[in-house]
Amino acid sequence: MKHILVTGANGQLGQCLKVLAQSSEHSFTFLNSKELDVTNPNQITSVFKTQSYDFCINCAAYTAVDKAESEVNQAQSINAQGAKNLAEACKTFNTVLIHISTDFVFDGTKHISYIETDATNPLSVYGQTKLEAEQYIQEILERYYIIRTSWLYSEFGKNFVKRMLHLARNRDELNIVDNQIGTPTYAMDLAKVILKMIPTEVYYGLYHFSNQGVASWYDFAKVIFELTQTTIKVNPIPASSYPTPAERPHFSVLNKAKIVQNFNLEIPYWQESLKKCIKALF
């Protein structure tokens, strides 16, 4: 049995881990941002002193991508400095850190899926702060897993699936960007992979994980409405017609070959996982 600390426990991934923890052989401590502020090194030290943790899963993050452009210090403090603080505590207390990163570390100029060793070039404050977190962890620790993921959704928290269903209740028509390409990822699938990685304590390093397949936000929305039998007109539009404070990569499909090989995974296609999420929502 492993003792596992989960930060940011009220987020999508944290809540998915809570569900899985109910049937897990491991012992979990779930702390939300009020119970453990990752920007406070003293508070982190106090938590690590109360229990000997084998693993720390860092789900704490500033994820408001557009707001980060104007709240740079807050995003940097939580995403980058927070990860650094946790990494230093993990080093001191001999704990393996599992940190969640993002496809936003890339600029989206590739036309084939990104592998872990591809050059990073974030376009946004959010992407930059998440990249800084990766760099801190790699500098400080030898025993870590960094998992980059993309387009995370679940039955918990705020996400694209729930936003589409909410908008559809009040509108007859939606315009959705069709030239940003990536892969929707069900947070429950990511949570399951993390728990599968935990007992191994080998193959440390940087990984990519998303569901299988490729989609645009327009494709994603269309399937959400099909699966929920929602009648609404969905119009494809270019990203240029929907300007946002933060620039997003036009192409950010992640190559999962490394994580599949090292941990013997079978990754579901995004449509199949979306069906499971929709079922959980209804």
Please identify every residue annotated as catalytic. 126
Q: Are strands 215-216 and 181-182 parallel, antiparallel or unpaired?
A: antiparallel
Q: Which amino acid is at 134?
A: E
Q: Is the dihedral of CA 31, 99, 219, 267 positive or negative?
A: negative
- What does 193-206 look like in DSSP terms, one character per residue? HHHHHTTT--S-EE
Angle, helices 12-21 vs 187-197, to 10°: value is 60
Token code pair at residue 134: 């990766």
Per the CB < 8 A criterion, the answer to whether 176 and 218 are in contact is: yes
Enter the DSSP assignment of 10. T
Chain position carrying tokens 């591809």:
118
CA 141/CA 216 separation, integer angstroms? 36
Distances (CA, A) of 256 to 55, 209, 210, 212: 23, 6, 7, 8
Sequence-distant (6+) residues with CB within 8 A of 268 are 186, 189, 211, 212
Closest CA to 79 of 14, 23, 156, 7: 7
* C-beta atoms surrounding 43 within 10 Å: 15
**Cα–Cα–Cα angle for 84, 117, 186, rounded to 5 degrees:** 70
